[in-house]
Each structure stands twice: as structure tokens, then as C-alpha cells.
Structure 1
């Protein structure tokens, strides 16, 4: 008999008495893990820092937890955390050697943990107002497929000739002890800038965003970036993830004791491009948000409306060296 995939979105079970990953019942509601792993919180003193949820309520990083059986944690999650922590501690070169699937699983577990907490918070709020909790079918589609891919951690799942994600990693000339974390749960986009590297993952696009930015990535992939340059790449990915207009579909094929997951073509039967039109002014607004640390305002960024300001490329499309940028790190 093949391993059973757990689908929490079918019955919308987000209680604290079932393991988030396997659906197995817990021995007690105290059987939980941290969403942001303890090693990361300790390293950057995050435990008591505020974390704003979508309903505008405030939590702290240490408040965000996931119900998880001790067996799942000890067998699958802790070994992953140990490997990721060691690589992150060593920096860019060690992170570069990691299996991309493991980075995806690690980031995916973290982002799904935030989603889980957001859903729990939303259910409580709606019920307190005497209303049923509702979520759009498109969002359920994305979240449930992320959860499916996460089960490659604990089930014999084989991704058949595709990656469900785009992942880019850069060496970045960061200041010491920087902790730059961003996410966008509606587009399932994740970004982390620490130590001497920056990492961006679009968790549910089958590689489409990396392909979309391939020409730019080819020019800068071997460079060490200034933080303002990395945040520009970040803005490009977060904006294109918003423009991405497909919901990836998959075939699940159990064969003996292995579950094969096959990606359906993103184009499908639609003649519409995979991405909606890139609007420079809107991109400029995104960029302003990512460049807050340097104080750039929208009117500066879009002084030339069709050519927003860039620290990656000059007016002729040539790459700009990080060493030539005179801004604080």
C-alpha cells in the first residue's frame, strides 16, 4: 500500500491536535515546534521581536508555532535544521553546496508555518464575529500544493523532472549581524538576507520566475552584490511573482511504494502569457518599499517613468560593480 498524502485543506483542519505535516494525532497540544527555528531566533535575537499578522494583530517570533509529532520532528525536521544551520553559519559557499530541494523544504516549512498561524488567527476572528471562515479557491489551491510538496520531507515523493520553485542565491556584501527577512504569502515568495548571502525562493511557480528574469540573472550571477542591489533583485522577483497568472497543476501517480508528482504544462490551453504586463510605475512602488533602508522616494525612482532607477544596470544595460556604489551596507 502506498503512503498516504495528508490534505489539511480538504476538511480545513488547522487545530493543534494534529501534526501539521502528517495529520497524525498528537499526544498533547504541547507537542509543537517553532515556525522560526530556535537556532535562527537565538542567532539574531528574534524571540521577542514583534511579528505582524495579516489581521493586524501582533505576535512575537517565538509565539509562532506548529503542531508536530515528536517522531516527525526528530526523524525529518531536526536533521534538516541541523544541516541548514551549519551551512548558514558557514556562509555563501556552504549554502551554495546545499541541495536546492532542502532549501525549498526549509523555506517552505517556515512560510507554511506562518500560513498555518494566519489561518488559525483568521478562524478565531471570524468565529468570534459569528461568521464562517472563508478563503479564496485560488489561495487554497496554492497553499495545498505547497503542503503537498512539503511532504517530500516525510513521504517517498519523487518530483518527476521538475522543480516546483524558482531559487536564486547571491553572495552579498552585508553588514555584520544583518537579518533581512521578507515574505509574501499570497504569492508564496520568500527572501532571506543574512551573513554574506541573499536567498530568494518563489515556492509555487515551477521555475517560471527564474526563467522570466534569466537574462538579468545571467549578467549578475557571478557578482558579489551590494545589499541595495540584492534588494533590487528582490523587488523584481516579488513583483513578477505578483504578475504570475497561473495556478500550477500536478498529476499524482502512486507506483508501488513511491508517489510520483508530475507537473502539468503551465501554458495549458491558454494563449495568455504566463505573466501580466510589467508596469514600470508599479514596479517603482515595489522598489521604494525594498529600498526603505536607503531612503529613496518614488519620485526619484521613477524620474524616468519607463526606466526606473537601478543599481544593477546602467543606462546601456551594463552591470554596475558593487564596489562603485557609495551607500551604507
Structure 2
């Protein structure tokens, strides 16, 4: 598959494109335009720097207007401007103030190439999203989800681990291995740099209908950083994605889980399925590898993947599952009175890794009402 845009053949200044050349750090450039960021340049300029996260321009070289982690149309549609997202440090931050460095030019291009078609497709109906993907737009959705995921992690460069300013514990992003996000950054730039992307490069991506049951909110977001797994719940639609598994988790889900799901899933079940995607990615026996190929003569950028023909799992760590489950559903502990009377009692059961809101004791899909949470 190839992603092309109307900017092909022109550099960032509007002049005819120059010859592709390789820099000392391994990047590929076309005059002032970065075709491919080397890992070193990505970490220096984007992950640790304050350059535009798409083109890499420094703030003093172009007009900047920054980019919302969650796009403005999404904030408006779900009335999120004054709502807050809770950071790993427990601090609530307003969605409308959650931004990352981005130049005006890239922001405009991103809006035209990505946000406009996605905003039209994500109308709250799972059928609309499924039709969008079936029409060959799966890469658009994958890139859009990847943009949110990457922006969220870039923003954590400025969010403290510990809220108490007297404690010098550093920033949340200090613990990130930015090398692991370099591949995703390369993929999500395909709307800026025309790129040939092999199908195996795309990770697991699944859309599933949701039933309203426990929450009054139409919007929910979750990510499990260690496994590059993310979910969005938008109205009656849940979108799941794994960015670095070359569809390994999706293959297992399609053959072993989907046939057992006999109806729409609840809001908490959405979060458990996110955990299942994460667990499958975590336990892949052979991890896929990704590589960017830049032909400086033909001026073509291609991203390829190498993976096993048939994904296999190695082990199944219930301790890991328990921690992921608590991270995913711990906020709703009060809806599980059968597990305990206090948060600590419920947490103890969840951390065993055996608790499920998706399957009953017989392994059948749970379809029923639960207590609402605030």
C-alpha cells in the first residue's frame, strides 16, 4: 500500500525537490525536508527536543501553532474541552491544554489528509468505521490512532513523575525507551512523506460495537505503554490497536475470541479486550522486526516487516495480566462487590490475573447489566 498526498514532489519551502542525500547521523534529507529520521535524529529533535513532531522544523524557523494530543474535532464532538485526562502521576490535565509542538504547515496538512476523512468516518456507529476500513482506509485509521499515541507520549516529556515539586523525580517520559517509538514515528509520517508500506507493517486493528451499560460517558481512552496497545471508545464504537505486533495479536483474537462474542461489549469489557491484545503482544514468541528502505536514486521510501508466518505464544504470565487488568479497570473497583468490600480487597483479587468481566466461570460471554460508576 502507498500513501500519497498533494505535496509530493515539493519540499517544505515550496521549491522543486532536490536529490535525496544521507546525513552523517543516517537520516535521509531532500534539501531542508527530512525524508527519514534516523533513530538518533528522532530522539534528539523530536523525543527530547521541541521540534515539530512531523517535519522536524525548529520553532524559530517556521510559524508554530502546536497540535492537540486529541484533535479538536474530537474534543468538540464529545464535549471534552473542559474535561480532564488523568496522567500516570495521578494529575488531571484538561484535554484542551494537552498539546505538542507542531508547525502550522504540518498541522494544516494533517487536518486535510488525516483528520477530515477520519472525523467523517467516526460518527459513533461501528458500521461506519468498519465500512471505512473495508474501503481500503485501514492505514488512515492506524495512522490516526498512532498520531494520538505518539503525541500522548511526547507530551509526557513535560509532565512530572511526582507532583510534589520538592521531589526531583524527573518526567514521566524519562522512563520511555524512545528507540521503540521510532518505528511508529516513521509510519505515521506517511501522510507527509509518500511512503510504500508493506501490509505486514500494520499492527493489529479491530473495530467492535459497544453497548451502553456502566458509564454515562460516550468517550473513553486507554493505553498500555509497555505493549504499545491502545483503545478508543467513541459512542457505540470501540477501536483497538497494537502498533508493533504485525497483526500477531489480531490473528489470535479473530480465531479464538471473536467467535465467542455473541453481542456488543460493555465499557469495561472494552478495557479487558485491550488487556487481551496487550497480553498477546507481550507473549509473542518471535517479535516482528521493521525496517525503512530509502532508495536515493529512485527517491522511494519503503517500510517493510519481517515476521513469523504463524505467530506463536510463549507462556502466559498471570501476574502481568493482573497488573494490566488493574491498570485498565481499577477505577471501577466499586462495581465488583462480590470481589470485596474495599478497593484493596478488590485489587488483591484482580492482581491474581484470573478475574474477567468478559467471560463467566464457564468461559461464556457475559451479556448483562452492571452497576453504573461515576
Q: Under TM normalisation by the shorter chain, which class is it?
A: 0.7 to 0.9
Structure 1, gaps ≥5 residues long: 268-272
Partner of 1:116: 154
Deviations 1:231-283 (Å, cap 9, x if unpaired)?
Answer: 3312212333444576643232234132111112369xxxxx96552133542
Please give the alpha-carbon distance, in whole angstroms, between the structure 2 residues aligned to 1:279 and 1:193.
27
Please give the alpha-carbon distance, in whole angstroms, between the structure 1 residues aligned to 2:171 and 2:327.
34
RMSD value, Cα? 3.9
Please give the alpha-carbon distance, in whole angstroms, between the structure 2 residues aligned to 1:225 and 1:130.
39
Please give the alpha-carbon distance, in whole angstroms, between the structure 1 residues aligned to 2:91 and 2:38.
28
| Secondary structure, counterpart of 1:162 in structure 2 | helix
Partner of 1:155: 193
Please give the alpha-carbon distance, in whole angstroms, between the structure 1 residues aligned to 2:50 and 2:174.
22
| Secondary structure, counterpart of 1:152 in structure 2 | helix
How far off is 1:160 after superposition? 2.2
Structure 2, gaps ≥5 residues long: 1-18, 21-29
Please give the alpha-carbon distance, in whole angstroms, between the structure 2 residues aligned to 1:134 and 1:83.
31
Q: 1:254 to 1:80 in 2, by over 3 A?
A: same
Please give the alpha-carbon distance, in whole angstroms, between the structure 2 residues aligned to 1:239 and 1:152.
28
Q: 1:214 to 1:306 in 2, by over 3 A?
A: farther
Partner of 2:5: none
Q: 2:299 aligns with which of 236, 257, 260?
A: 257
> Bigger shift: 195-204 or 114-123?
114-123
The answer as to 2:236 corresponding to 1:196 is yes
Please give the alpha-carbon distance, in whole angstroms, between the structure 2 residues aligned to 1:89 and 1:25.
36
> Bigger shift: 79-88 or 42-51?
42-51
Q: Could you tell me whether the CA contact under 8 Å between 2:269 and 2:357 is conserved in 1?
A: yes
Partner of 2:24: none
Please give the alpha-carbon distance, in whole angstroms, between the structure 1 residues aligned to 2:102 and 2:286.
31
Partner of 1:20: 53
Q: 1:308 to 1:222 in 2, by over 3 A?
A: same
Please give the alpha-carbon distance, in whole angstroms, between the structure 1 residues aligned to 2:40 and 2:89.
20
Q: Could you tell me whether the CA contact under 8 Å between 1:244 and 1:276 is conserved in 2?
A: yes
Please give the alpha-carbon distance, in whole angstroms, between the structure 2 residues aligned to 1:134 and 1:76.
25
Partner of 1:308: 354
Partner of 1:81: 115
Number of equivalenced pairs: 318
Deviations 1:88-117 (Å, cap 9, x if unpaired)?
Answer: 225211111222211111111111111111
Q: Could you tell me whether the CA contact under 8 Å between 1:187 and 1:242 is conserved in 2?
A: yes
